[in-house]
A and B are shown apart, each in its own frame.
Chain A
Amino acid sequence: MKFSLARPALACAVLATLAACGGGGKATFPINVTVAGLQYPGLVLSTNGQDLAVNPPAKAGDDVTATFPNEIEYGQTYEVVPKGAVVTNHVAVGGSQPKHQQCSATPFPAYGTAGQLAKISIRFACAIQTYPLGGKVVGLTGTGLVLANGSTTGTISVPPALDANQKPTGADVTLTMNQVPYNTTYGVTVLTQPTGQTCTVAGGANGTGGGTMDDAAEAATPQGVSNLVVTCK
């Protein structure tokens, strides 16, 4: 009895769905976007000849939801990318990103065909840009030098340059610390001195291995901080 009622009801629902697709012109689909982690202005998303500027949320940390101005028709394809991005195999590079941030579609792809899913909801997540922090180590002959950027992002061991006979030459060694996010301070210190030597840190924005990854560092060529000098004697 129960089934005999359920079946016509189901048939009815199927008919209603079909009618929605076929009758009275094609169904249209809004392109909804949710952006997480947005902190700075400048993000413009684009698809199907439409642009959508996405601004940071009123309350820091909230998701931003927005919808493209025009709906697209059933069967139309879409691919939401930062405006002007170069797209290769659905991977968008560059385009109109927010200042100091990088946004990408995650965890689902930002392309498809309208009607594939009941709703089009695109999700982007934005992360603060990080920039290199580095320079050189001068005069290092001992082993065991370990540098740290305070308690942030681990420690860096620096071995001396060696000649063909595995003897230290004291030649300059390139120093690459872990990258530092925009608007974050860095302060490089010697955590462990090398055997038989004492090293001091100079350079950075304040001359003693410290500074802030600020607009100047972001605008530098190459980007980031590359003037650290660790001198070992």
Chain B
Amino acid sequence: MKSSILRAGVVALACALGLSACGGGSGDLYLTGAVYNVTKDGLVLTNNGEDLAVTTPYTSFQFSNRISTDDQFDIKVKSVPSNVASVDDCKVNNGKARANYYTIAQINVTCTIRKRALTASINNLTGSGLVLINGSDKQTVPAGTKTWPMAPVNEDGAYGVTVLTQPTGQTCTVSGGSSGNGAGIMGAVETTTVTVTCA
């Protein structure tokens, strides 16, 4: 009695699996996921021997080999873009599991881009109240300051330092940076300096 129930169950399960596995290729499930914080070529993922380069616009990936329900997948980072310090800075979340419709919908890869120092070199600041901004980064700079660190900026990312509030009795202008006006793209060197001149 017991074994006949068991047998029927196994047969039903096998049928279900068999049906879900139809669709051509080696399986019917695409191994896909979202990609966060990748801005350039260089990220290569690997799963059970298949390598996959993540290409523009760097927001998702999909392995070519389809997999079947219950196949084990184990996605690892093989190499990272040049603006990511090491393979450990790109994390695969939920990258190892047995495949089913739930597990293959939970995967993402999130990278942390290397930060570079952005420094303001300040000339002749005698007044108080100077506020420098780089977008949402806001820095109040006291009188007499010669250099001031802005918040670090993503390598290969844009920056643009401007004066939010002029100091009392002076007008400051921003120059330097790779665009010459206090703006630019953060390079791969350790520090970038913009110049703030007050008169």
Taking beta carbons and an 8 Å cutoff, which residues of A are in contact with B? Answer: 148-155, 180-181, 184-193, 206, 208-212
Taking beta carbons and an 8 Å cutoff, which residues of B are in contact with A? Answer: 118, 133-138, 151, 153-154, 157-165, 179, 181-186
B182, A189: Cβ atoms under 8 Å? yes
A210, B162: Cβ atoms under 8 Å? yes
A191, B184: Cβ atoms under 8 Å? yes
The one of A148, A180, A185 in contact with B138, judged by C-beta atoms closer than 8 angstroms, is: A185
A150, B164: Cβ atoms under 8 Å? no
Return A188 CB to nearest CB of chain B, in Å: 8
What separation, in Å, do the CA atoms of A184 and B134 have in the docked complex?
11
What separation, in Å, do the CA atoms of A42 and B165 have in the docked complex?
32
For this complex, 16 residue pairs linking A to B, each with C-beta atoms less than 8 Å apart, are A148-B158, A149-B135, A149-B160, A150-B137, A151-B118, A151-B158, A152-B137, A184-B136, A185-B138, A185-B164, A187-B164, A189-B179, A189-B181, A190-B181, A193-B179, A206-B164
Knowing A184-B136, A185-B138, A191-B185, say if A150 contacts B179 (CB, 8 Å): no
Q: Which residues of B contact A185 (CB under 8 A)?
A: 133, 135-138, 164
Nearest 9 pairs of A and B residues by beta carbon? A150-B135, A152-B135, A189-B160, A187-B162, A150-B134, A189-B183, A148-B158, A187-B133, A152-B136
Q: Which residues of B contact A188 (CB under 8 A)?
A: 160, 162
Return B92 CB to nearest CB of chain A, in Å: 22
Which residue of the partner chain B has the closest CB to A152?
Answer: B135
Which residue of the partner chain B has the closest CB to A211?
Answer: B164
Return B148 CB to nearest CB of chain A, in Å: 15
Knowing A155-B158, A189-B181, A191-B184, say if A150 contacts B163 (CB, 8 Å): no
Q: Which residues of B contact A190 (CB under 8 A)?
A: 160, 179, 181, 183
What separation, in Å, do the CA atoms of A155 and B161 have in the docked complex?
14
Return B130 CB to nearest CB of chain A, in Å: 12
Interface of B is mostly: strand
Q: Which residues of A contact B185 (CB under 8 A)?
A: 191
Which residue of the partner chain A has the closest CB to B158?
Answer: A148
Which residue of the partner chain A has the closest CB to B185?
Answer: A191
Q: Which residues of A contact B184 (CB under 8 A)?
A: 191
Which residue of the partner chain B has the closest CB to A201?
Answer: B162
Which residue of the partner chain A has the closest CB to B184?
Answer: A191
Return A151 CB to nearest CB of chain B, in Å: 5
Knowing A190-B179, A190-B183, A191-B184, say if A151 contacts B137 (CB, 8 Å): yes
B181, A150: Cβ atoms under 8 Å? no
B159, A150: Cβ atoms under 8 Å? yes
What separation, in Å, do the CA atoms of A155 and B154 have in the docked complex?
13
The one of B154, B158, B162 in contact with A191, judged by C-beta atoms closer than 8 angstroms, is: B158
Knowing A151-B135, A185-B136, A190-B183, say if A210 contacts B157 (CB, 8 Å): no
What separation, in Å, do the CA atoms of A148 and B179 have in the docked complex?
12
Knowing A150-B134, A150-B137, A152-B135, say if A187 contacts B179 (CB, 8 Å): no
B179, A192: Cβ atoms under 8 Å? yes
Knowing A149-B135, A153-B135, say if A189 contacts B154 (CB, 8 Å): no
B135, A187: Cβ atoms under 8 Å? yes
Q: Which residues of B contact A193 (CB under 8 A)?
A: 179
Q: Which residues of B contact A208 (CB under 8 A)?
A: 162-163
The one of A151, A191, A210, A211 in contact with B179, judged by C-beta atoms closer than 8 angstroms, is: A191
A191, B160: Cβ atoms under 8 Å? yes
Q: Which residues of B contact A150 (CB under 8 A)?
A: 133-137, 158-162
Q: Which residues of B contact A189 (CB under 8 A)?
A: 160-162, 179, 181-183
